[in-house]
Chains A and B, each alone.
Chain A
Amino acid sequence: MTDAQHIAQDDLALYALQTLSRDESAAMREHLSECAVCRAELARLRGDLAMVALSVDQHPLPSGARERFAQRIGLSPRATKLAEPVPIYRESRFGRVAGWVGWVAAAACLIVAAGLGFEVRSLRARLLDKNSRIASLEASESRAKQVDELLTAPTAQRVFLTAPKTPPTPSGRVVYLAPRGALMLQANNLAPAPAGKAYELWVIPADGSAPIPAGLFRPDAEGNGSLVLPPIPPGIKAKAFGVTLEDSAGSKTPTAPILMAGSVPQNGG
């Protein structure tokens, strides 16, 4: 399994997959604790396995999974739960227990009253919570209004700050209307595309299917480039957009690295 110095590649892959027996694993673990070369190769193999894991079809989390996790880490305590209604079981044995009916009825009334009292307290607590949330929302709305006024004021001054002597960062802005397949891209501060190369925009579909090429462009001397209504099939819901550098004839699949990327906000806006 191990040669004079190192673990054979085949066996190290099985160790990374955790498919060896306990005894085999123990022997390898001992070697790994002393061999930096094998540890480094094991780390690379695990990196390869992570890529295999990445190949699985993506599925959304079950409903409520996020909330369950948030609650588990104490992010948002679950709202006070209303008391379950108290079940009252009435047995029809009037003839034999007629003398106890009054007491049973009284006890039942007490239980119902206790249940209702608890429910009233719970409802009051919820009402207070709601009022507090409304106040918070009103405050947020007021702040949002101020922000909106600031951003839309014609006299507002707009200044873009950067670290001194830092080359400007490439940036882009996409406007996309999925039902019509209509898209516009404005990109700035791009490096010139090398000869035979062009920038290509990709639509990353929300359904996890392959990225769709959305147009090639070359920036001008100032580093600005645009795409206006490139041909894109209508009806593709996007979750993100990315720009890569490709051969000037275009590519069917994007080539790493991704030079610019942006996700569509979850509300789709």
Chain B
Amino acid sequence: MPVQPNNPMPPDPRNQDEEAPSSGRYGSEVGSDKSLMERVRVREQQAMAEIFDRYAGLVYSVALRVLKDSSHAEDVTQEIFFQLWRNPDSFSSSRGALATWLLVVARNRAIDHLRQRRPGVPVDEVVAESATNMQSEAERSIMMERVRGIIDDLPQEQQRSLQMAFFDGLSHSEIAEKTGQPLGTVKTRIRSALTSLRKRLEQ
């Protein structure tokens, strides 16, 4: 696609005087995660609803992928956000970005639900570090596309081991049994897949 020449249509001078568009002006994503969580801590229900609007779709999609049942996936989603409302201090910025933290908690809670077991790791012990910013819809969409591309590029056997461990919640011995591969190979494939993903995202 050719680069359009410098300013083919001069801007309306009035624009210089107008408010700089923010994501909030163009859409519904007004507050930062940090400011919303501060409002949640003082029991502002509207702020909690905004967090739900922003991230419930992500959390639900992860839970649905694991549980393959919309009703159970919604239960997990509702519970995660309700727990956050009841105990906002279970998350703090020292545990990573809110979206990253929610994604990890969503997967873990969905696997707990799948195995019908008590939560493995309390949410307030989950720390997930990532440089990725996913506060706006555009940032999330672009990052999703990028991650999908990277995972598609992984060797098939790495993809399979990672998906069996992550989405099916299988242990490395269960994966080894299913695939007929040695335990060590399965462990290495999972770790290699995660290492490749990290390196590609850091590029």
Q: Is the interface of A mostly helix, strand, loop or mixed?
A: mixed
Q: Is B64 in the interface zone, CB < 8 Å from A?
A: yes
Chain B residues 36-87 with CB under 8 Å of chain A are 45-46, 48-49, 52-53, 56-58, 60-62, 64-65, 70-71, 74, 77-78, 81-82, 85
Q: Is A2 in the interface zone, CB < 8 Å from B?
A: no
Q: Is B93 in the interface zone, CB < 8 Å from A?
A: no
Chain B residues 132-162 with CB under 8 Å of chain A are 132-134, 136-149, 151, 162
Q: Collect the chain A residues with CB atoms within 8 Å of residue B12's CB.
A: 186
Q: Collect the chain A residues with CB atoms within 8 Å of residue B52's CB.
A: 66, 69-70
CB-CB contacts of B115-147 with A at 8 A, as 1s and 0s? 000001100001111101110111111111111
B161 to chain A, nearest CB (A): 11
How many B residues touch A, CB cutoff 8 Å? Answer: 101
Roughly how many angstroms separate A217 CA and B5 CA in the complex, as a whole number? Answer: 7
Roughly how many angstroms separate A60 CA and B58 CA in the complex, as a whole number? Answer: 9
Known: A73-B49, A217-B4. Is A52-B139 also a contact (CB below 8 A)?
A: no
Q: Collect the chain B residues with CB atoms within 8 Å of residue A14's CB.
A: 165, 171-172, 187, 190
Establish whether residues A220 and B7, one from each chain, have CB atoms under 8 Å apart when the complex forms: yes
Q: Collect the chain A residues with CB atoms within 8 Å of residue B180's CB.
A: none
Q: Collect the chain A residues with CB atoms within 8 Å of residue B103's CB.
A: 49-50, 53-54
Chain A residues 55-85 with CB under 8 Å of chain B are 55-62, 65-66, 68-70, 72-75
Question: Which residue of the partner chain A has the closest CB to B82?
Answer: A72
Establish whether residues A10 and B191, one from each chain, have CB atoms under 8 Å apart when the complex forms: yes
Establish whether residues A46 and B29, one from each chain, have CB atoms under 8 Å apart when the complex forms: no
Q: Using a CB–CB distance below 8 Å, which chain A residues touch chain B?
A: 9-11, 13-14, 17-21, 25, 39-40, 42-62, 65-66, 68-70, 72-75, 158-160, 168-169, 171-173, 184, 186, 188-189, 198, 202, 204, 208, 210-211, 213, 215-220, 224-228, 230-231, 239-242, 248, 250, 253-254, 256-258, 261-266
